[in-house]
Structure 1
Amino acid sequence: MLEQWGAQLLVVLQVLVIISLAFVLSRLVSRFMARLAARYPLPQELLLPVRGGLHWLIIGVALIMVLERFGMSATVLWTAFSGFVAVAAVAFFAMWSVLSNLLCAVFIFSAGPFRLGDRVELIENGEKPGVKGRVLDINLLYTTLEEHRESGETNLVHIPNSLFFQRMVRRWNGQAGAAEPASRVVAEPTDSPLG
């Protein structure tokens, strides 16, 4: 029984020593960075991230050492951490398209590059014609266009909102038969001294 208490007391003492050393090392690094900043004209924009990064590195190493004292392997911890980071990265990239469309929907609603009833055309490359139609619906993920074919056939096209910010867009106001672009130049008054 005394042997068990001695082993547990030894682990607690080791943890206290690790925490104390991490605290002292963190203070020494902070003082070293302050002296370095006083001696050399280093910008604060460089010193703050370096100091913060070293501080968190010391805390991370101390945490791993403490967990090792309680029986956890550093290899297992590193594997779990890297697995978590990999899953988070995959989830972020999987959601990137959806998040991009949501953000672009907010921009479409707030900036109003086009409205319901306008005719829009996504221009592929240069002047190559792309998808053209009347805007029927704008929701958080895509915009629905009613496309009229030369054969008289009507199609509904769902375009992701992010495409409206990746390609050039031509817009016409009003009904589907309007042929005049919405962005026309208004003539300036002729009573200016230059004209």
Structure 2
Amino acid sequence: MIFDFATEKYGHIIATVITLFIFFFLKRFSDSLVKRFGIKSDFPKVRIQLVKKYIDFLLWGLLFVVVVSIWGVKPDQIFLFISSILTVIGVAFFAQWSILSNVTAGIIVFFSFPFKIGDRIRIMDKDFPLEAEIKDINSFYTLLKTATGEKVSLPNNLLLQKAVVIIK
């Protein structure tokens, strides 16, 4: 009886060590991939670090779920816990949906949009057309500076919703 408990405990330890090894390998691989993409696309270091932070947060969450399941929490208990937490978070984000959409838009802008800091852009909006230079792209907003010197903070999700023209 004691022998079975000891071998089960060692099995959990070995599985946890293997999981940690895989986690750190994936973390290092994803960090280098984002860094190479950011350097190749000529993105500022701050933007690269921000996207690394998002991916690291996702990997840490995944590591937590895997380690908890290794140490004997039943899958249905994990899913019940996760769904309860996601429900609470979902209600909170529903109240502040723009926060989540801006963070998601910030990641999309980082990986797929053709403009970068220093470009002059024109936002095609019938009510409030805007022509400005991109000064910074953060996780929630993009900072623009107009020709008259005004600083405009534009939520990232608007960059996905509006037509944007890059001025050469």
- For normalisation by structure 1, the TM-score amounts to 0.40
Higher relative contact order (CA 8 A, sep 6+): 2
Considering only CA atoms, is the larger Rg found in Structure 1 or Structure 2?
1
- For normalisation by structure 2, the TM-score amounts to 0.46
Please identify which structure carries the higher helix content. Answer: 2
